[in-house]
Structure 1
Amino acid sequence: MQEKEHVLEVLQNTKKAARNEDIIELKSLSDQTIHTASIEQDSDNVIVAVVIYALSKLIERKSRYMAKDYQEYINHYTVMIDELIDSIKKNDPKRFQQHLKEIMSGSGKLSEHLRRTIEDLFRKARINKASKVYEHGLSMGTTAKLLDISLWELAEYSGQTGIADVPLTQTMDVKKRLNIAMEMFS
Structure 2
Amino acid sequence: MKESENLIRVLEESIIAFKNKDSIKLKKLSNETVHTSSLNQDPNNILVAVIVYSLGKILERENYLNLPGWKNFESLTTSALKISVKDLKQKKEEKFTQDLVQVRKAIGKISGKLKKYVEEVFRRSEITKASRIYEHGISLGRTSKLLGITIYDLANYSGQTGISEVSLNQTISEKGRIKMLEDIFR
TM band (smaller chain):
0.7 to 0.9
C-alpha contact 2:33 2:49 (8 A) present in aligned 1 = yes
Query: Hey, which bits of structure 1, 4+ residues long, moved more than 6 A?
Result: none
TM score, norm. by length of structure 1: 0.85
1:68 positional shift: 3.6
Q: Deviations over 1:135-168 (max 9, x none)?
A: 1010111110011000000001111111122233
Could you tell me which amino acid in structure 1 is paired with residue 93 of structure 2?
A: P
Matches of 1:105 and 1:68, distance apart in 2: 17
Could you tell me which amino acid in structure 2 is paired with residue 14 of structure 1?
A: S
C-alpha contact 2:21 2:59 (8 A) present in aligned 1 = yes
Could you tell me which amino acid in structure 2 is paired with residue 162 of structure 1?
A: G
Matches of 1:115 and 1:158, distance apart in 2: 27
Alignment length (residue pairs): 176
Percent of aligned positions that are identical: 38
Unaligned 5+ runs, structure 1: none
- In the TM superposition, what are the counterparts of 1:24-35 in structure 2 within 5 Å? 24-35=24-35
Unaligned 5+ runs, structure 2: 179-186
TM score, norm. by length of structure 2: 0.85
1:111 positional shift: 2.2
Matches of 1:97 and 1:81, distance apart in 2: 11
Residue 97 of structure 2 corresponds to 97
Residue 48 of structure 2 corresponds to 48
Residue 159 of structure 1 corresponds to 159
1:66 positional shift: 3.5
Paired residue secondary structure (2:110): coil
Residue 39 of structure 1 corresponds to 39
Matches of 1:84 and 1:108, distance apart in 2: 19
133-142 or 107-116: bigger deviation? 107-116
Paired residue secondary structure (2:2): coil
Matches of 2:7 and 2:32, distance apart in 1: 10
Matches of 2:48 and 2:61, distance apart in 1: 20
1:124 positional shift: 1.0
Residue 168 of structure 1 corresponds to 168
C-alpha contact 2:64 2:114 (8 A) present in aligned 1 = no
Could you tell me which amino acid in structure 2 is paired with residue 34 of structure 1?
A: V
Matches of 1:114 and 1:64, distance apart in 2: 6
Residue 133 of structure 1 corresponds to 133
Matches of 1:42 and 1:91, distance apart in 2: 15
Matches of 2:87 and 2:112, distance apart in 1: 28
Give RMSD over aligned pairs. Answer: 2.2
1:106 positional shift: 3.1
- In the TM superposition, what are the counterparts of 1:103-118 in structure 2 within 5 Å? 103-107=103-107, 109-111=109-111, 113-118=113-118
1:113 positional shift: 4.6
- In the TM superposition, what are the counterparts of 1:9-88 in structure 2 within 5 Å? 9-64=9-64, 66-88=66-88
Matches of 1:114 and 1:149, distance apart in 2: 23
